[in-house]
A and B are shown apart, each in its own frame.
Chain A
Amino acid sequence: MIKTFKEIAFSIENAPAWQQKYREIMLLGKQLPPMPGVLKTDSALVPGCESKVWIYLDFDLEENTLVIVGDSDTRIVKGLLAIVLALYNGLTPEQVIKTDALAEFSRLGLIQHLSPSRGNGIKAMVERIQSMAADRSL
């Protein structure tokens, strides 16, 4: 069962220690539905430094919503990816634009993972989602 962003936020915010927070994040990564191998193309690879992150973006014309599938070879980034997906999946482009991942990550005490020095691709991933939403909302 995939958790909603609200559920995720609740368990991370209420983690008693940072270790518990990371445990929760890694668990989210584990629960992420597998990304089909055919979608792991070079263009799906988010340019990052250390960890490999794939993100596939599509647009559901009928529902007018974003469909995001992703994967990573590290547990922590995969968990963070699961949070980003929970945040944005199924939103309309207008809703995506209004959703500030930076503010949400900051609220959850995960802001250091969005800093450019981490090189984990999370920031690039959010930028990719936002730019697709911007294209669609035109």
Chain B
Amino acid sequence: MFDVEKIRADFPALKQLINEQPLVYLDSAATTQKPQAVIAATEQFYARNNANVHRGRHTLSEQATLAYEQARATVAAFFNITANELVWTKGATEAINLVTNGLSEQLDNQSTIVISALEHHANIVPWQQLAKRTGATLLTLPLQQNGRFNVEQCVNFIEQHKPTVLAITHASNALGNITPLETILHAAKLQHTITLVDGAQAALHLQPNLQQLGCDFYVFSAHKMLGPTGLGGLYGRYERLNSLAVYQTGGEMIETVTLTETTFRQAPAKFESGTPNIAAVIAFSAAIKYLVSLDKTNVYTHEQAIFNYAVEKLQLIDGITIYSDINNNIGTLCFNYKDEHPFDIATLLDGYGVAVRSGHHCAQPLMQHLGINGSVRASFAFYNNHKDVDLFIAALQECIALLD
């Protein structure tokens, strides 16, 4: 049984007033709120267990190393991968940069990189830079006018261009639309394409089994999955991962160092230079344990119910245009009201304690594709309830009355 009120009680930040009104937090796509378990794990680490990892024979250091490596195993199990296929990074953006940098020597001017217009800037710009460095051709997967993929078109495109690399999002950060990955990744595999999936938005909502998904690389961001900021992860199929050139060099990632020569360790260690974000890794494993303690199916069903309820209510308001695919979505509603500027709507909503995002959502090519300058984005997570939707809709109607 999924008791949303009980779950809300686990998130201290949800219990506050903003501008004298109860907070309605609809910006989980930007970052999720944190359960008490994550806050407690962070505090516990700094208050009692703080020590550096992978060095020092003293008790605290041994304990910290153990907790740190156990956390890697916990998160790896969540994604159904092995622990040595998981690299800690400072975020999904760094994880993508690690791959694009690591591929520099494997690509040349005969290579083709395919991305899509649905991507967050973080999954566009590093590939543009890689194409510039190597002379590779950068192409975009066909996207329909409404911001959805036609699977057949995508498969044909992949068969025609036989890309060296395909980088694609699991779900759009701006629209919430879920990518039909299964068929697309299968088509890419047939062409021996290296595949990277940007899971920053989707991982919390879809909780993917990465072995089953079958991509070579998958990136995620801890703070969008109930965890702390400053941490992300890269999954890489081991041979693929280990074949990447080193990213940043320094301590921790080395085997032996002389003043002229250095040999590197094997993945994942060779990509983790310097002291890692130990507290964040440990706190993130608390986040994953918390998430796993809630039944995956119940979480998904509840999120979809809240999303559908919001869609239904929003559609009743005259003058609203919804850009999201409402039938295939992780719970993100991207919309505009007539030709009002999203900035004005978001600013006024804040007066009612409703937190939404406005703007281009770091997806300018997608906004150009949709022919808009920006939008309002209300993004839901499993801790939102029906009352949040009611308060949001009531506030939106008040804002519209102020604008009209």
| Residues A76 and B351 in contact in the complex (CB < 8 Å), given A19-B402, A22-B402, A51-B341 | no
Q: Verify B402–A76 contact, CB threshold 8 A.
A: no
Please name all residues of chain B whose beta carbon is closer than 8 Å to the beta carbon of A22 when the two chains form the complex.
347-348, 351, 402
B276 within 8 A of A: no
- Which residues of B in the span 322-377 have a Cβ within 8 Å of any Cβ on A? 340-344, 347-348, 351, 358-359, 373-374
Q: How far is the CA of A50 from the CA of B362 in the complex (A)?
A: 11
Q: Verify B341–A73 contact, CB threshold 8 A.
A: yes
Report the minimum CB–CB distance from A43 to chain B (whole Å).
Answer: 21
A23 within 8 A of B: yes
| Residues A51 and B343 in contact in the complex (CB < 8 Å), given A18-B351, A19-B402, A75-B403 | yes
B44 within 8 A of A: no
Q: Verify B344–A74 contact, CB threshold 8 A.
A: yes
Q: Verify B402–A120 contact, CB threshold 8 A.
A: no
Report the minimum CB–CB distance from B360 to chain A (whole Å).
Answer: 8
Q: Verify B344–A75 contact, CB threshold 8 A.
A: yes
Q: How far is the CA of A26 from the CA of B348 in the complex (A)?
A: 11
B19 within 8 A of A: yes
Q: Verify A74–B341 contact, CB threshold 8 A.
A: yes
Cβ-Cβ contact count across A and B, 8 Å cutoff: 36
Q: Verify A74–B402 contact, CB threshold 8 A.
A: no
> B340, B374, B402 — which one has the most chain A CB atoms within 10 A of its CB?
B402
Binary per-residue interface labels of chain A (40-83) against chain B in the complex, 1 for a CB within 8 Å, 0 otherwise: 00000000011100000000000000000000011111000000
Please name all residues of chain A whose beta carbon is closer than 8 Å to the beta carbon of B398 when the two chains form the complex.
19
**Interface size class, chain B:** 10 to 19
What DSSP secondary structure best describes chain B's contact surface? Answer: helix
| Residues A50 and B403 in contact in the complex (CB < 8 Å), given A18-B351, A75-B344 | no
Q: How far is the CA of A74 from the CA of B358 in the complex (A)?
A: 12
Please name all residues of chain A whose beta carbon is closer than 8 Å to the beta carbon of B340 when the two chains form the complex.
75
Q: Verify B343–A76 contact, CB threshold 8 A.
A: yes
| Residues A18 and B359 in contact in the complex (CB < 8 Å), given A23-B402, A50-B374, A75-B341 | no
| Residues A76 and B347 in contact in the complex (CB < 8 Å), given A19-B402, A22-B402, A23-B402 | yes
Please name all residues of chain B whose beta carbon is closer than 8 Å to the beta carbon of A49 when the two chains form the complex.
359
Binary per-residue interface labels of chain A (1-39) against chain B in the complex, 1 for a CB within 8 Å, 0 otherwise: 000000000000000001100110010000000000000
Please name all residues of chain A whose beta carbon is closer than 8 Å to the beta carbon of B359 when the two chains form the complex.
49-50
Q: Verify A77–B343 contact, CB threshold 8 A.
A: yes
Please name all residues of chain A whose beta carbon is closer than 8 Å to the beta carbon of B344 when the two chains form the complex.
26, 74-76
Please name all residues of chain B whose beta carbon is closer than 8 Å to the beta carbon of A26 when the two chains form the complex.
344, 402-403
> B343, B351, B398 — which one has the most chain A CB atoms within 10 A of its CB?
B343
> B342, B347, B351, B403 — which one has the most chain A CB atoms within 10 A of its CB?
B347
Q: How far is the CA of A18 from the CA of B399 in the complex (A)?
A: 12
Report the minimum CB–CB distance from A76 to chain B (whole Å).
Answer: 5
Give the nearest-CB partner of A52 in chain B: B373
Give the nearest-CB partner of B359 in chain A: A50
Report the minimum CB–CB distance from A53 to chain B (whole Å).
Answer: 11
Q: How far is the CA of A120 from the CA of B343 in the complex (A)?
A: 9
Binary per-residue interface labels of chain B (30-49) against chain A in the complex, 1 for a CB within 8 Å, 0 otherwise: 00000000000000000000
Give the nearest-CB partner of A113 in chain B: B347
Binary per-residue interface labels of chain A (75-113) against chain B in the complex, 1 for a CB within 8 Å, 0 otherwise: 111000000000000000000000000000000000000
Q: How far is the CA of A19 from the CA of B19 in the complex (A)?
A: 12
Please name all residues of chain A whose beta carbon is closer than 8 Å to the beta carbon of B351 when the two chains form the complex.
18-19, 22
Report the minimum CB–CB distance from A125 to chain B (whole Å).
Answer: 15
Q: Verify B343–A18 contact, CB threshold 8 A.
A: no
Q: How far is the CA of A120 from the CA of B350 in the complex (A)?
A: 15
Please name all residues of chain B whose beta carbon is closer than 8 Å to the beta carbon of A23 when the two chains form the complex.
402
Binary per-residue interface labels of chain B (4-29) against chain A in the complex, 1 for a CB within 8 Å, 0 otherwise: 00000000000000010000000000
Q: Which 3 A-B pairs have the closest CB atoms?
A: A74-B341, A74-B343, A50-B359
**Pairs A–B under 8 Å by Cβ, sample size 24:** A18-B351, A19-B351, A19-B398, A19-B402, A22-B348, A22-B402, A23-B402, A26-B344, A26-B403, A49-B359, A50-B342, A50-B358, A50-B374, A51-B341, A73-B341, A74-B343, A74-B344, A75-B341, A75-B344, A76-B343, A76-B344, A76-B347, A77-B343, A120-B343
Interface residues of A (CB under 8 A from B): 18-19, 22-23, 26, 49-51, 73-77, 120
